[in-house]
């Protein structure tokens, strides 16, 4: 009989499925969702009082809790909906010229790569892509690949802290130090690290860092943040210009005033960030340190189980993994890589339809790979990866044999 985690009951996940894809959209625990429901009730009971009188102080408290968690002064953080919004905010705020180079990697998240392409198209700048090796042996290969593409024309580098398709931890501390020393603004896409990795954004020194709270921190969807180093804040404005642009208040920076109010929206996700930090941190005696270590160990165990079941070699050292892992799969399976949209891969469809296993199969173009990416959250169990290994081995065998 398949064993399940003792912590699964804290989530509303369908018990009939094996959810091994926390990395895509996260999953919010029941107590945090209850807190969000209570906040929404409070908001709708007296919207004027809530938005005009209560919300500013509530946002300040939520931002302070998040700032402590990610190691940054609260005045240097603002809430945004998600990391993609944070990347767009920075790229829309900055000015580039023809001849400027905007650097990124071939592993950059597609949505943020699109934002970078759009920024280059508006200004006449060009996008330079560093081809990170994968598989790889060490973090040095990542560092060397990125720095080798820096030139005197490089103005900004958009770099994932944890890559989405390949699940690699990028050595951003070393990369940021090198980039900023060369006058290149580092924009770090931290979609995954909050809750997966310990963060100290003030010490990191990046010009910009944006992250999600709905993934590994397990806050509700719609909670993200943007950190801007103090010397860069004057240039950064929200995507929606609103009342903060001419507010007479003098108790906080223009940076804070503009992002605090960008129009009427549901702020409950951001206000639940402290509850998510507290709940997840209380699940284990060792708090967040133990939770991160547990999830890392489970991701490594899950990868070992799958690598053995599928007879593939792990593509990177365990030290480059957080709470996710990606394994390369065969490319010669009946045209399976010809899918036109995410989620169309036959293996992913069959795992979901026939086995109730939710896991992404990612087509990767540079180098050509087909990746099975698994996540490990406290509600997962090692037996779930064994079941995935059995099912994937069977389905891949059918593909190779030309079966349905």
Mean pLDDT of 328-335: 64
Q: Distance between CA atoms of 157 and 48, rounded to whole angstroms?
A: 42
Determine the average pLDDT of the residues in 276-301.
Answer: 98
Q: Where in the chain is the domain with CATH 3.90.1150.10?
A: 8-30+287-401
* Average pLDDT of the residues in 321-337: 75
The number of beta carbons lying within 10 Å of the beta carbon of residue 312 is 15
**For position 335, what pLDDT does the model report?**
42
Positions of CATH 3.40.640.10 in the chain: 32-278
What are the tens digits of pLDDT across the range 92-115? 999 999 999 999 999 999 999 999
How far is Cα 375 from Cα 20, in angstroms, rounded to an integer? 5
Question: What's the Cα-to-Cα distance from 268 to each of 64, 103, 223, 263, rounded to whole Å?
Answer: 16, 35, 9, 14
Condensed to tens digits (0 to 9), the pLDDT of residues 337-364 reads: 433 345 578 999 999 999 999 999 998 7
How many Å apart are CA 218 and CA 194, to the nearest integer? 9
Say which residue the tokens 């894809």 belong to. Answer: 21
pLDDT at res. 99: 96
User: CATH classification of 32-278 is 3.40.30.10, yes or no?
Assistant: no
Question: Which neighbouring-strand residues pair with 77?
Answer: 227
Question: Phi and psi at residue 182, in whole multiples of 5°?
Answer: -95, 10
Q: Note the pLDDT tens digit of each residue in 228-273.
A: 999 999 999 999 999 999 999 989 999 999 999 999 999 999 999 9
Beta strands (DSSP E) in 70-123 are 77-80, 101-105
| Helices and strands (H, E) in the chain, number of each type | 15, 12
Choose among 324, 380, 371, 374: nearest CA to 192: 324
Tell me the whole-structure pTM to 2 decimals: 0.95
Q: What are the tens digits of pLDDT across the range 152-193?
A: 999 999 999 999 999 999 999 999 999 999 999 999 999 999
- The dihedral of CA 227, 230, 236, 242: what is its sign? positive
Percent pLDDT > 90 in the chain is 91
pLDDT at residue 404 greater than cutoff 50: no
Name the average pLDDT for the chain: 94
Q: Give, as one character, the DSSP assignment of residue 49.
A: I
Mention the CATH class of domain 8-30+287-401: alpha beta
Q: By C-alpha distance, which of 89, 39, 5 is closest to 274?
A: 39
């Amino acid at each position: 009989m398949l064993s399940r985690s003792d912590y699964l009951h804290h989530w509303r996940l369908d018990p009939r499925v094996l959810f091994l894809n926390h990395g895509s959209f996260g999953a919010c625990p029941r107590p945090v969702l209850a807190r969000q429901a209570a906040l929404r009730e409070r908001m709708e009971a007296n919207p004027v009082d809530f938005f005009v009188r209560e919300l500013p102080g509530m946002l300040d408290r939520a931002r302070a809790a998040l700032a402590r968690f990610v190691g940054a002064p609260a005045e240097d953080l603002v809430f945004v909906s998600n990391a993609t919004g944070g990347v767009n905010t920075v790229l829309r705020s900055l000015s580039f010229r023809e001849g400027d180079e905007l650097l990124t990697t071939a592993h950059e998240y597609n949505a943020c790569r699109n934002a970078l392409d759009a920024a280059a198209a508006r200004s006449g700048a060009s996008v330079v892509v560093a081809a990170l090796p994968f598989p790889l042996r060490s973090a040095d290969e990542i560092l060397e690949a990125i720095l080798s593409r820096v030139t005197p024309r490089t103005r900004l580098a958009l770099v994932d802290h944890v890559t989405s398709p390949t699940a690699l931890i990028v050595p951003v501390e070393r990369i940021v130090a090198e980039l900023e020393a060369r006058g290149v603004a580092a924009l770090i896409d931290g979609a995954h690290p909050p809750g997966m990795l310990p963060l100290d954004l003030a010490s990191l020194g990046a010009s910009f860092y944006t992250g999600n709270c709905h993934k590994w921190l397990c806050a509700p969807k719609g909670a993200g943040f943007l950190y801007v180093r103090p010397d860069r804040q004057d240039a950064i404005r929200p995507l929606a210009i609103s009342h903060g642009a001419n507010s007479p208040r003098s108790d906080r920076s223009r940076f804070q005033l503009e992002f605090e109010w960008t129009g009427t929206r549901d702020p409950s996700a951001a206000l639940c960030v402290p509850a998510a930090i507290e709940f997840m941190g209380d699940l284990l005696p060792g708090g967040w340190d133990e939770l991160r270590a547990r999830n890392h160990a489970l991701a490594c165990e899950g990868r070992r189980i799958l690598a053995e079941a599928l007879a593939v070699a792990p593509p990177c050292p365990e030290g480059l993994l957080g709470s996710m892992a990606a394994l390369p799969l065969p490319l010669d399976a009946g045209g399976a890589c010809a899918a036109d949209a995410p989620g169309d891969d036959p293996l992913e469809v069959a795992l979901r339809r026939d086995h109730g296993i939710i896991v992404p199969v990612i087509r990767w173009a540079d180098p050509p790979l087909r990746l099975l990416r698994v996540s490990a959250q406290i509600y997962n169990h090692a037996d779930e990866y064994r079941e995935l290994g059995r099912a994937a081995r069977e389905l891949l065998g059918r593909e190779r044999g030309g079966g349905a």
